[in-house]
Amino acid sequence: MNTINVNSEIGKLKKVILKRPGREIENLTPEYLKELLFDDIPYLPNMQKEHDGFAQVLRDRDIEVLYLENLMTEALSNDTQKEEFIDSFLKESNYLYGYTLGKVKEFLLNFSTDKIVERIMGGIRTDEINIPKKKSLLALTLKYPFYVSPMPNLYFTRDPAASIGNGISISKMKEPARRKESLFIKFIIENHPMFKDSKPPVWLDRNYKFSIEGGDMLVLSESVLAIGISERTTAAAIEHIAKNLFAQQGKITKVLAVNIPKSRAFMHLDTVFTMLDHNKFSIHPKILDQNGKIDVYILEKGDSETTLQITHKEQIDDALKSALGLDEIEFIACGGGDVIAAPREQWADGTNTLAIAPGVVITYDRNDVTNKIFRERGLETIEIASAELSRGRGGPRCMSMPIYRED
């Protein structure tokens, strides 16, 4: 039996990976918000309550919830794996070297496995490790308060990887603050008992030169994948994974590359466009030009494994109808397309829905205009509390990495 099985955005969700917000959130300070990709500082106790509520909604629908932190702990089952992971992680830190790097590694190895994972995710402050100043110029001159930066974006488990068919794409993250997140996925896939024996294929690994992130990848059907050309995902990476899928995966025959505006507000494709039902999609109208057009490039296999055939369309509904074999497409505009409500609710992830079955979606409660329209259009809309979760700039889809859906 395949450990990973994701052939659509809307198949009944059976198994998903989440990350419960932890001490990494409390290591946010105003001075380093921009560097760590946050606009505000959430209040952790309330944020955890909201996230626990999200997880319970999933469990109430018979969806198995797996936590990234637990999977990572279970993947490091012996001292060799622990040391290998610590070495790999610290090697990718931008400024640790020599004596200081050795002391940080020594500090981590003193903890139990779960605490090692928690410390690496949460960040290691300089005042937690006693490094003699006379032995380290770095320790003597470093003004940044962390030897290991906190990883507050980890609760957005969608981005470090994407399940496609029975395999996975492990992301080359664009921003330095998030780049090491996909290292957790790599170690889990290679070492966790759930994945180690079944050996799911890796369609793209995290060492690829150009960036690509899971939030830009939507599995529209068994044969069609949509990927956003976005602020975080490059055209080069889309070409690369398309060629890999056509050559190795067998079922994906079309990749729709959707060229969305490059801005923080439109960070990934799933912040402006998601699938709700067989022919229903949420969309933020601001991604379309004044004539209702957007560039969509349909990638198909070329004459060889190294070439592609590319068709250009300017109407996203035409591209979707053609690729998915549908007669009609129904778009539901965020905020009803209202000039004020649409951008306000898109900023709070009104378009970032998580479908857990055809026509059943999880949304943030704060996006009342969009949620009302969803219900009017026949969608079962499950709202979750979002006062603190939404401060990180990601919604229910961003916070979830499905690994198993019914076909």
Which of 12, 11, 9 lies closest to 273, judged by CA? 9
Q: What three-state secondary structure class fits 34?
A: coil
**Count of other CB atoms within 10 angstroms of residue 84:** 15
How wide is the angle at C-alpha 229 spanned by C-alphas 223 and 231, nearest 5°? 140
Distance CA 75, CA 260 (A): 37
Burial 165-203 (b: 16+ CB within 10 A, else e): bbbbbbbbbbeebbbbbbbbbbbbbebbebbeeeebebb
**334 given a catalytic annotation:** no
Please, where are the H alpha helices in 325-391? 341-347, 368-376
Which of the following is catalytic: 4, 75, 220, 398? 398
Of 3, 125, 150, 25, the C-alpha closest to 71 is 3
Amino acid at 176: P
Active-site residues, by number, are 398
